[in-house]
Amino acid sequence: MKKWIGVGLFLIGLYFAAVLVQAQLSERNAEKQMEVILNDISSPWQPEKIRFHGSDWLNNRARLTPDELARLAAKDLGSLRSIEHGPNCIFQSGHEPSNPNKEIIWAMCEVTAAFEKNTARLKIRLVDEPATKPTLFGLLGKNLKLNDITDIQLINNGDRQ
């Protein structure tokens, strides 16, 4: 009997270890995707590339259009020179505000980057679109799209991490 309890506890422990590894791999995947998207859209800022990497919400319903976003970012930040810290991404889930029955998964990413005019800490949301359901051995966020830039903090040279 003790043998079966031990085997059961081992399998439960193995399952939880697999879940933790899957979460880490999903976050690393999101961080790589964030780096690719940021390099592509901001070297220089191009509305066409923002539309290409953008979610349906960003391209069709956002308060700032991709054209306005590119124009303002180019004016305030300039083109990307380098990524200095991050990106660090954390997955979250919730319901779409316009449709409470639709569950969405997104990655909140924070990245510090040097641009031509300023260094900034950006908080960027990537949404999984079209949404993929989490599976036992699959990774989250296979189809991450740029949803919005939630925060931009300009950094003085002495404040860099």
Domain limits of the chain?
2-159
pLDDT of residue 161: 47
- Give the residue with greater pLDDT, 117 vs 22: 117
Residue from 140, 145, 142 nearest 124 by CA: 145
pLDDT per residue as tens digits for the range 92-131: 878 777 777 878 888 899 999 999 988 999 999 998 876 6
Calculate the alpha carbon distances from 144 to 33, 52, 55 in Å. Answer: 7, 12, 8
* Distance of alpha carbon 109 from the chain centroid: 5
Band of pLDDT at residue 91, cut at 50, 70 and 90: confident
pTM: 0.78
Q: 50 with 70: CB under 8 angstroms?
A: yes
90 pLDDT more than 90: no
Band of pLDDT at residue 160, cut at 50, 70 and 90: very low
pLDDT per residue as tens digits for the range 68-85: 999 999 998 989 999 998
Tell the CATH topology of 2-159: Nuclear Transport Factor 2; Chain: A, (3.10.450)
Token output for 78: 């300039």
